[in-house]
Amino acid sequence: MQPPASEHVLFQGSDFAEWASLNDTIMGGNSRAGCRSTTDGLLLEGQLVEAGGGFVSCRSPRLQPPLDLSPYSALQIDVDGEGRTLKIALGCRDGAMGLTELIPGGVRWVIDVPTQAEGTTRLTIPFSNLRPTIRAKPVGLPLKFDTGGITRLQVLHSKFGDAGALNPGFRPGEIRLLIRSIRALP
């Protein structure tokens, strides 16, 4: 019998070095934000413009081989989030021979999470609460989230929420988020 899994640090400090920004400019938007690794974590800062897009994000590189989080049930993210509602998005193998990766943008498993206006918010994200979406629209297909095959992690602030409706916690303008750490929880 294996001992129960303990908390596992996935990213903190320099572990974020290869993360990159992905903003609404890929679809004609005008937001300008970048992310960079600091000693405190991953800093996303810039200007978020709602017209023509309305999102800024930081995402991990494509994880090869995929990250195996099958011993775990949730992610824990510590973030200084300015009171914004963030979207956490994970990519994974889909069990359909990778066919969903052929869809531009692919299937992402998402959840919206509110943050405190000041200080660090500790977010706990059970894998069972993630919902499949394509480009911020819910997917009606019977897909299964593969905790043993995580291919990408992304943290966004978007005008669209995880169910495709507008994000009530969206705020355009100057943005400065600090992702202090991401852990896997048993």
Look at the chain and report how many structural domains it folds into: 1
Residue 32 lies in a domain: yes
Least confident of 51-60, 70-79, 83-92, 96-105: 96-105
What average pLDDT does the structure give for the chain?
89
**Would you say 52 and 28 are in contact if contact means Cβ atoms under 8 Å apart?**
yes
Least confident of 4-8, 67-71, 177-181: 4-8
Intra-chain end-to-end CA distance of the chain, in Å: 16
Residue 1 lies in a domain: no
**Mean pLDDT, residues 67-73:** 96
DSSP 50-79: TTTT-EEEEEPPP-SSPB--TT-SEEEEEE
The predicted structure's pLDDT at residue 168: 87
Q: How confident is the model at residue 163 (pLDDT cuts 50, 70, 90)?
A: confident
**Mean pLDDT, residues 42-49:** 97
Residue 38 lies in a domain: yes
pLDDT in tens, 98-137: 555 555 557 889 999 999 999 999 999 999 999 988 877 7
Alpha-carbon distance of 88 to 59, in angstroms, equals 10
Residue 3 lies in a domain: no
Torsion, Cα 164 74 88 22, to 10 degrees, reads: -140
**Would you say 133 and 11 are in contact if contact means Cβ atoms under 8 Å apart?**
no
Q: How confident is the model at residue 4 (pLDDT cuts 50, 70, 90)?
A: low
CA-based radius of gyration for the chain:
16
Position with higher pLDDT, 53 vs 71: 71
Containing structural domain, residue 87 = 8-185
The predicted structure's pLDDT at residue 115: 97
Residue 90 lies in a domain: yes
Residue 12 lies in a domain: yes
Specify the CATH number for the domain of residue 105. 2.60.120.260
The predicted structure's pLDDT at residue 17: 96
Residue 2 lies in a domain: no
Residue 69 lies in a domain: yes
**Would you say 159 and 54 are in contact if contact means Cβ atoms under 8 Å apart?**
yes
